[in-house]
């Protein structure tokens, strides 16, 4: 266990050093994650893009517009050309699994374990003979 912690610390330190030496800050999202770009790897034409998470490394804390930028879809980052936000669009949420806000369908053990009986509008499928 201590070995894994040491490897993680070294990996984080290596990434922070690389970011300090080669990274150009591009922007920050609503969760506090910071986004960077850097020179292309040898043999590649595309610039490198990466994120430094504000807390635990959790991919679901990357909003959709930044996710698209990380995957080289638009050229300009959302900090330079904000995405179109429609009134019906909900703000991004990180994964809620394991929290009190997680979705639990009717009949789930933590929702009482009982669900209403079928209402008669369901007809099971039987294969043709």
Question: Is 125 a member of any domain?
Answer: no
Write out the chain's pLDDT in tens, 129 residues.
Answer: 566 677 777 677 787 888 888 889 999 999 999 999 999 888 888 999 999 999 888 889 999 999 999 999 888 899 888 888 889 988 888 888 888 888 888 888 877 777 777 777 777 888 887
Domain holding 61, by residue range, is: 25-83
Tell me the pTM. 0.71
Question: Is 100 a member of any domain?
Answer: no
Question: Is 34 a member of any domain?
Answer: yes
Counted domains in the chain: 1
Q: List CB contacts of 127: < 8 A, sequence separation 6 or more.
A: none
Question: Is 62 a member of any domain?
Answer: yes
User: Cβ–Cβ contacts within 10 Å for residue 84, how many?
Assistant: 7
Question: Is 102 a member of any domain?
Answer: no
Give CA–CA dist 13/18, Å, rounded: 9
Maximum alpha-carbon separation in the chain: 70
Please give the structure tokens belonging to residue 18.
């690389």
Give the residue ranges of DSSP H helices in 23-117: 64-70
Question: Is 119 a member of any domain?
Answer: no
């Amino acid at each position: 266990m201590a070995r894994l912690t040491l490897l993680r610390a070294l990996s984080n330190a290596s990434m922070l050093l690389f970011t300090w030496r080669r990274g150009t800050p591009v922007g920050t999202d609503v969760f506090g994650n910071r986004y960077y770009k850097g020179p292309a790897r040898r043999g590649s034409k595309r610039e490198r893009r990466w994120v430094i998470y504000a807390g635990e490394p959790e991919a679901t804390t990357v909003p959709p517009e930044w996710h698209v930028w990380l995957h080289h879809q638009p050229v300009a980052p959302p900090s330079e050309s904000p995405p179109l936000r429609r009134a019906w669009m909900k703000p991004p949420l990180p994964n809620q699994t394991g929290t009190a806000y997680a979705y639990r369908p009717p009949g789930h053990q933590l929702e009482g374990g009982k669900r209403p009986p079928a209402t008669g509008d369901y007809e099971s499928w039987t294969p043709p003979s």
